C-alpha cells in the first residue's frame, strides 16, 4: 500500500483540478482527499496500491484541460485507510 502527500503547482485552480483528481482516484480505487490552498496550489493525499497511486499521480501531472502543471511535489504520507476520496474546502 502506498500513501502520498502531494502539492501541485501551476495553473491548477479554477480549471476543475479537484474534480479531475477525484475522478482519477475513483477510477483507480485510490482513497484520500484533495483541496485548494490559499497560495494557489492544490494539495492531495492519496492511499492505495502502488500502481494505482502512481496512475493518479501521472494524471495529476497532466491535469485537466485548461490546467498548466509546473510541478508535482510528492512526499510520503502516513499510511491510513480512508474509505473514500473527497474534495475538501480550501486550506
Q: What does the alpha-carbon distance between residue 16 and residue 76 come to, in Å, rounded to a whole number?
A: 25
Q: Is 9 a catalytic residue?
A: no
Catalytic member of 18, 35, 37, 54: 18
Catalytic member of 9, 11, 35, 36: 36
3-state secondary structure of 64: coil
Q: Is 38 a catalytic residue?
A: no
What is the distance, to the nearest Å, from the Cα of residue 5 to the centroid of all Cα atoms in its chain? Answer: 8
Nearest residue to 71 (alpha-carbon basis) of 49, 39, 48: 39
Cell of 72: 508535482
Positions marked active-site: 18, 36
Amino acid at each position: 500500500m502506498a500513501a502520498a502527500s502531494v502539492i501541485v503547482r501551476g495553473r491548477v485552480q479554477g480549471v476543475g483540478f479537484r474534480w479531475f483528481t477525484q475522478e482519477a482516484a475513483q477510477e483507480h480505487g485510490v482513497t484520500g482527499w484533495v483541496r485548494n490552498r490559499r497560495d494557489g496550489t492544490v494539495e492531495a493525499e492519496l492511499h492505495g496500491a502502488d500502481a494505482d497511486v502512481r496512475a493518479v499521480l501521472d494524471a495529476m501531472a497532466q491535469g485537466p484541460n485548461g490546467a498548466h502543471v509546473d510541478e508535482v511535489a510528492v512526499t510520503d504520507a502516513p499510511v491510513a485507510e480512508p474509505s473514500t476520496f473527497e474534495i475538501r474546502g480550501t486550506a
